[in-house]
């Protein structure tokens, strides 16, 4: 059984570390395609993980998404600029 990553906020670290990850990348694919969503997330509810997942998508890191829904959707992983974000719990610029 995979472990629950309680203090891991980085998508790459979760995937490469073999941690439990609930695949919601199909929703990210819809968001990227332009489907409008209101994204309101309470404290400790995955904002940093969400942003690092989006960053990995826009950096073209397709290997991290092997077996996940977005990889099966036909999305073309390509580098789209240089995304940046924050780990909200620690307020450290990435």
Residue 65 to residue 69: CA distance in whole angstroms? 8
The pLDDT-based confidence of 87 (bands split at 50, 70, 90) is: low
**Global pTM value:** 0.78
pLDDT score recorded for residue 20: 92
Q: How far is CA 24 from CA 54, 87, 90, 93, in A?
A: 12, 19, 24, 25
Q: Measured between alpha carbons, how far apart are the two ends of the chain, in Å?
A: 30
Q: What is the pLDDT of residues 33-86, one digit of tens each?
A: 886 767 777 777 788 888 899 999 989 999 999 999 999 998 888 887 665 655
pLDDT score recorded for residue 89: 57
pLDDT score recorded for residue 67: 94
């Amino acid at each position: 059984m995979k472990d629950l990553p309680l203090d891991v906020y980085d998508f790459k670290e979760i995937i490469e570390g073999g941690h439990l990850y609930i695949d919601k990348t199909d929703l990210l694919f819809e968001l990227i395609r332009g489907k409008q969503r209101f994204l309101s997330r309470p404290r400790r509810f995955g904002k940093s993980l969400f942003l690092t997942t989006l960053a990995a998508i826009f950096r073209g890191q397709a290997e991290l998404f092997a077996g996940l829904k977005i990889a099966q959707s036909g999305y073309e992983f390509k580098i789209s600029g240089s995304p940046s974000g924050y780990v909200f719990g620690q307020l450290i610029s990435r």
